[in-house]
Chains A and B, each alone.
Chain A
């Protein structure tokens, strides 16, 4: 299982690199396909390769290329590897507008060309202008990302070992010393820690979404102190690794993503994704329209059709079923209304997941910041934590 996952991801990455570099060298050939939308995705937005409904409606095919989700991977694809001249849409975890817009890599979204935009109540409720979630799709009061997936992260635990847990304090509770794992990511693990420190009154942190250097240093000092006390067993780096940590009961409390718990449960492990009183780390996937100089007006129209399709019921219900994330309000209705495509258990699952994630967004917390103002300081400090 491990090797399969690694190999598949590696192969997809290599294929992506080959495609990007190849098309950069031969732009004429790459664009010759005509009715194809080149769609870069981090692996979440793929409806198992079934784009038939979109193709039937638009006449265009979708060429999905898997890319990494790290900010550097995304920017490398667009800046260094010629991806700007290849891709039409990149579907990644949002909040990347600042580097993408400032470097002229993506276009403003004209929401009037996306009929499903107005039908998506989640956008207005959680990601609209003036809402904290706007930072995931907007920049300078303009919209650049189409929110395809929404989720609130917290941590998982094994109730048989720990009992019920409802606070990020569990990650730092000496009771679980040596049985805690964190994600190797300063925009998740450090931000959740900041949320905890702020809510518990243990540190003066104005905004965990975008900390000052001093605030972030306080967070890292706290983590280093915990690390030196032996609180953490491991800092995980991949989906598979985190799942194994839970399934093998290597750790009892783990800062992780909810789908990992779904996988662990499917393997017979009683893991619970916590509802922390401090709130959640909220985030959204955003599909960006790449400022591709090679794209024709017709292709841009088709790209908008794809963005609209991604806010539709079928796509939303399919992704919620496959990935366990909330997508859009139409997903629940579509799944319930189309039992031939979504049997009752799947429709129920779509409704449950949607309700659950909606509840998280209503509870609030902190919005993950993928490109904080002091991003380089974050990175250097995270290195300090890991090196300590």
Chain B
């Protein structure tokens, strides 16, 4: 009975995660037959990715995802650090709760709201002009690289704070005290104790941020202006002409990258210990 109950989560993951991902990978090797597609083993879709503009999109998507994830990490880590190590538990809980508020609003709606703020006649430009800070509206606030990164970071950074906070909060204070007792400076303690011990959280945060940014399609549409095409957009676009094998091949690239990240995380860090520490912190 207990085993049957325990197998339910596994069954759920197999049915709703493994099987769809497997089908996607399989279809990426199939060939098209009119509007439909049929089983085969062809690399045609992958050749299309490498030969056409999709490769540029792929490279740009990876670059954008790396940059957005790095920036998000640079913002999220100090926040998580302060919450975990400096703030009182009550304040930390309150602020973490506030970071869940964005999850209550659809992120598409949130990004549409940005356009009202950042447009040429939007709130920010109107204020800057009225205050005499600028003569002309700042065009780069919207429909630019800046706005795309703003959209990506504001969408995915909150997801990154939580694993970072958990990993930082789970670090045993005795290690830090021992480091200080042995004469290490605060910076040295951070670099040699805190940072290494928070790596599982950093890696988890990077996975959350990178995978989200890599597959993102709404943010570039809403904030990107002149066709800031990312991988998610080109997948949608290929489905417009019912080229499912190509869409599946592009998706497979994302899946493989995600799997590589997950496997590295699993191999490099002791997941059980990490989760154990979280449980320890909670108790």
Query: Can you list 27 pairs linking A and B with CB atoms under 8 Å apart?
Result: A7-B106, A71-B240, A71-B242, A75-B35, A75-B242, A76-B242, A79-B36, A102-B34, A103-B34, A178-B139, A184-B227, A227-B226, A232-B226, A235-B227, A250-B120, A250-B142, A376-B241, A379-B238, A379-B241, A380-B48, A382-B237, A383-B54, A383-B238, A385-B227, A386-B227, A386-B233, A387-B54
Residue of B nearest to A385 (CB): B227
B108 interface residue (CB < 8 Å to A): yes
Shortest distance from the beta carbon of A76 to any chain B beta carbon, whole Å:
8
B239 interface residue (CB < 8 Å to A): yes
B53 interface residue (CB < 8 Å to A): yes
Query: Other CB < 8 Å A-B pairs besides A249-B121, A383-B237, 16 of them?
Result: A2-B112, A6-B108, A6-B112, A71-B242, A72-B239, A75-B242, A76-B242, A234-B143, A235-B225, A244-B115, A376-B241, A383-B234, A384-B52, A384-B53, A387-B227, A387-B229
Shortest distance from the beta carbon of A170 to any chain B beta carbon, whole Å:
17
Give A232 to B237 CA distance when docked, in angstroms.
20
Residues of chain A within 8 A of B106, CB atoms compared: 3, 6-7
A200 interface residue (CB < 8 Å to B): no
B207 interface residue (CB < 8 Å to A): no
- Taking a contact as CB atoms under 8 Å apart, the answer to whether A248 and B120 are in contact is yes
Give A249 to B139 CA distance when docked, in angstroms.
13
- Taking a contact as CB atoms under 8 Å apart, the answer to whether B53 and A380 are in contact is yes
- Taking a contact as CB atoms under 8 Å apart, the answer to whether B226 and A248 are in contact is no
Of B48, B109, B221, which contacts A237 at CB under 8 A? B221
Residues of chain B within 8 A of A234, CB atoms compared: 143, 225-226
Report if A72-B121 is in contact (Cβ < 8 Å); known contacts: A232-B226, A234-B225, A385-B227. no
Query: In chain A, residues 128-182, which have Cβ atoms closer than 8 Å to a Cβ of chain B?
Result: 178
Q: Mark B196-235, 1 if CB is under 8 A from A, else 0.
A: 0000000000000000000000000110011111000110
Give A101 to B257 CA distance when docked, in angstroms.
40
Q: Which 4 A-B pairs have the closest CB atoms?
A: A386-B227, A384-B53, A386-B229, A387-B229
Residues of chain A within 8 A of B57, CB atoms compared: 383, 387
Number of interface residues of B (CB under 8 A): 39
- Taking a contact as CB atoms under 8 Å apart, the answer to whether A379 and B221 are in contact is no
Residue of A nearest to B230 (CB): A387
Query: In chain A, residues 1-51, which have Cβ atoms closer than 8 Å to a Cβ of chain B?
Result: 2-3, 6-7
Q: Mark A358-388, 1 if CB is under 8 A from B, else 0.
A: 0000000000000000011001101111111
Give A383 to B120 CA distance when docked, in angstroms.
27
Residues of chain A within 8 A of B109, CB atoms compared: 2-3, 6-7
Residues of chain A within 8 A of B225, CB atoms compared: 232-235
- Taking a contact as CB atoms under 8 Å apart, the answer to whether B240 and A70 are in contact is yes
Number of interface residues of A (CB under 8 A): 37
Shortest distance from the beta carbon of B195 to any chain A beta carbon, whole Å:
37
Q: Mark B106-121, 1 if CB is under 8 A from A, else 0.
A: 1011001101000111
A343 interface residue (CB < 8 Å to B): no
- Taking a contact as CB atoms under 8 Å apart, the answer to whether B121 and A248 are in contact is yes
Residues of chain A within 8 A of B121, CB atoms compared: 248-250
A339 interface residue (CB < 8 Å to B): no
Residues of chain A within 8 A of B60, CB atoms compared: 387
SS of A interface (majority): helix
Candidate in A235, A384, A386 with the most chain B CB atoms within 10 angstroms: A386
Shortest distance from the beta carbon of A158 to any chain B beta carbon, whole Å:
12
- Taking a contact as CB atoms under 8 Å apart, the answer to whether B108 and A72 are in contact is no
- Taking a contact as CB atoms under 8 Å apart, the answer to whether B242 and A233 are in contact is no
Residues of chain A within 8 A of B233, CB atoms compared: 386
Of B34, B56, B113, which contacts A387 at CB under 8 A? B56
- Taking a contact as CB atoms under 8 Å apart, the answer to whether A249 and B240 are in contact is no
Give A70 to B242 CA distance when docked, in angstroms.
11
Residues of chain B within 8 A of A379, CB atoms compared: 237-238, 240-241, 243
A99 interface residue (CB < 8 Å to B): yes
- Taking a contact as CB atoms under 8 Å apart, the answer to whether B112 and A72 are in contact is no
Report if A235-B226 is in contact (Cβ < 8 Å); known contacts: A249-B120, A250-B120. yes
Residues of chain A within 8 A of B242, CB atoms compared: 71-72, 75-76
Give A233 to B109 CA distance when docked, in angstroms.
21
Give A184 to B227 CA distance when docked, in angstroms.
8
- Taking a contact as CB atoms under 8 Å apart, the answer to whether A376 and B243 are in contact is yes
Residue of A nearest to B221 (CB): A237
Shortest distance from the beta carbon of A198 to any chain B beta carbon, whole Å:
23
Residues of chain A within 8 A of B108, CB atoms compared: 6
Residues of chain B within 8 A of A385, CB atoms compared: 227
Shortest distance from the beta carbon of B123 to any chain A beta carbon, whole Å:
11
Candidate in B106, B241, B243 with the most chain A CB atoms within 10 angstroms: B241
Give A254 to B76 CA distance when docked, in angstroms.
39
Shortest distance from the beta carbon of A382 to any chain B beta carbon, whole Å:
7
Give A356 to B165 CA distance when docked, in angstroms.
63
Residues of chain A within 8 A of B34, CB atoms compared: 102-103
Residues of chain B within 8 A of A79, CB atoms compared: 35-36
Residues of chain A within 8 A of B238, CB atoms compared: 379, 383
Give A6 to B105 CA distance when docked, in angstroms.
13
- Taking a contact as CB atoms under 8 Å apart, the answer to whether B122 and A248 are in contact is yes
Of B53, B54, B112, which contacts A3 at CB under 8 A? B112
Shortest distance from the beta carbon of A7 to any chain B beta carbon, whole Å:
8
Shortest distance from the beta carbon of A1 to any chain B beta carbon, whole Å:
10
Candidate in A3, A227, A249 with the most chain B CB atoms within 10 angstroms: A3
Residues of chain A within 8 A of B120, CB atoms compared: 248-250
Query: In chain A, residues 40-79, which have Cβ atoms closer than 8 Å to a Cβ of chain B?
Result: 70-72, 75-76, 79
Shortest distance from the beta carbon of B156 to any chain A beta carbon, whole Å:
20
Report if A233-B239 is in contact (Cβ < 8 Å); known contacts: A6-B108, A387-B57. no
Shortest distance from the beta carbon of B216 to any chain A beta carbon, whole Å:
15
Residue of A nearest to B228 (CB): A386
